[in-house]
């Protein structure tokens, strides 16, 4: 008898693959509103500062391939077939659901390459996948809402933090703080009882306990350039506040992201680093999950929980 086939819909944010794709990508993020020339230039400058293009599309592909490989390795009677569907650039989530149907996939599991659940984030990915499958009559998709508490994911960050502490001079260790950060979202999510802020706080606590760290805090980064209020405290304000409290070394853990990309390579490694340099603070930013085996394991375990 042929193996049971399961589609693995791996969804991620997406990134422009060259300079010409930046404007349509930005327009899509802004729900169809073209950015002003000033906003566009600022974004192009940020991409230039990280080398012209983001490594995100390559990393997303590798993460999906490795997840597929790991699952196939340990499930003898099931064949997992990974499909990458993106939020803001081709191949869009909808096109990939159509592709799965054309390929004869009847059953699929969807996972978003972002650990925490939010209406503005993971729910919007999953809703788009479900709406398309309902429209075209399949495949049946089972979605993972969030996976931040997977033990291997907690191990990944706590090991990274311990390794980073080892690099800090002994006399500076007592004045070191870990800053866990995630992408800010509009403040109205608090009234909407969105799970996102609570999950970030819980994730930070779980990692801090595992790593055995004395001082940690949370902050929001990369807020949108819109007039509405966004979740705070912003990470740059947080750095200034912690400096006043006497911290001299800071370990930045952007736990809301899982890869090297603009929001980490620019917002953390350029903007936060510039400020810590000005204030005379030591800046540490452990390597991102990318294709680390502990991270791939966390994704695989989250998928396995949805297997019937």
Q: Which of 9, 13, 63, 298 is the binder for ligand FEC (CB under 6 A)? A: 13
> Which of 97-105, 129-137, 219-227, 237-245 is the region at the interface with ligand FEC (rule: CB under 6 A)?
219-227
- Report residue 222 as tokens: 């990369």
Q: Which of 194, 263, 292, 297 is the binder for ligand FEC (CB under 6 A)? A: 263
CB of 252 to ligand FEC, least distance (A): 16
CA distances from 175 to 6, 53, 99, 164, 248 (A): 50, 36, 53, 14, 6
Count the residues in the chain.
Answer: 308
Q: Which of 135, 225, 274, 305 is the binder for ligand FEC (CB under 6 A)? A: 225
Taking Cα atoms as reference points, which of 190, 188, 180 lies closest to residue 115? 180
Between 4 and 274, CB nearer to ligand FEC: 274
CB of 307 to ligand FEC, least distance (A): 24
Strand order in the sheet with 107-112: 78-86, 4-12, 107-112, 140-143
Between 29 and 301, CB nearer to ligand FEC: 29
Residue 86 — φ and ψ, nearest 5°?
-110, 155
Q: Which helix (H) or strand (E) holds 56?
A: helix 56-74
Q: Does 126 bind ligand FEC (CB under 6 A)?
A: no
Q: How many CB atoms lie within 10 A of CB 172?
A: 12
Q: Which of 56, 67, 109, 189 is the binder for ligand FEC (CB under 6 A)? A: 56
Between 150 and 263, CB nearer to ligand FEC: 263
> Which of 91-99, 103-111, 246-254, 261-269 is the region at the interface with ligand FEC (rule: CB under 6 A)?
261-269
CA distances from 156 to 153, 167, 206, 216, 281 (A): 5, 17, 12, 17, 25
Site for ligand FEC in 173-192 (CB under 6 A): 183, 185
For 238-257, b/e burial (b = at least 16 CB within 10 A) is: bbeebbeeebbbbbbbbbbb
Q: Does 28 bind ligand FEC (CB under 6 A)?
A: no
Q: Does 43 bind ligand FEC (CB under 6 A)?
A: yes
- Report residue 51 as tokens: 């080398």
Which residues in this chain contact ligand FEC in the complex, by CB under 6 A? 13, 15, 26, 29-30, 43, 54, 56, 114, 120-121, 183, 185, 222, 224-226, 256-257, 261-263
């Amino acid at each position: 008898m042929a193996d049971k086939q399961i589609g693995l819909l791996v969804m991620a944010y997406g990134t422009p693959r060259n300079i010409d794709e930046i404007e349509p990508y930005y327009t899509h993020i802004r729900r169809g509103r073209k950015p002003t020339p000033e906003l566009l230039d600022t974004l192009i400058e940020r991409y230039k500062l990280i080398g012209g293009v983001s490594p995100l599309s390559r990393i997303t592909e590798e993460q999906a391939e490795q997840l597929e490989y790991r699952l196939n390795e340990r499930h003898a009677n099931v064949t997992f077939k990974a499909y990458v569907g993106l939020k803001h650039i081709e191949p869009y989530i909808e096109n990939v659901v159509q592709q799965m149907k054309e390929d004869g996939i009847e059953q699929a599991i969807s996972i978003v390459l972002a650990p925490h659940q939010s209406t503005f984030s993971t729910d919007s990915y999953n809703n788009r996948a479900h709406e398309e499958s309902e429209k075209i009559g399949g495949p049946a998709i089972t979605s993972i809402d969030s996976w931040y508490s997977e033990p291997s994911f907690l191990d990944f960050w706590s090991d990274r933090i311990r390794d980073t502490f080892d690099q800090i001079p002994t006399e500076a260790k007592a004045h070191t703080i870990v800053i866990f950060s995630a992408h800010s979202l509009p403040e109205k999510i608090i009234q909407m009882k969105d799970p996102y802020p609570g999950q970030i706080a819980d994730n930070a606590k779980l990692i801090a306990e595992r790593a055995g760290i004395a001082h940690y805090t949370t902050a929001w980064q990369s807020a949108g350039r819109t007039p509405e209020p966004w979740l705070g405290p912003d990470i740059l304000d947080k750095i200034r506040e912690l400096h006043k409290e006497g911290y001299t070394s800071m370990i930045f853990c952007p736990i809301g992201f899982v890869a090297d990309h603009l929001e980490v390579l620019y917002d953390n490694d350029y903007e936060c680093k510039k400020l810590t340099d000005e204030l005379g603070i030591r800046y540490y930013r452990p390597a991102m999950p990318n294709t680390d085996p502990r991270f791939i394991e966390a994704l695989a375990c989250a998928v396995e929980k949805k297997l019937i």
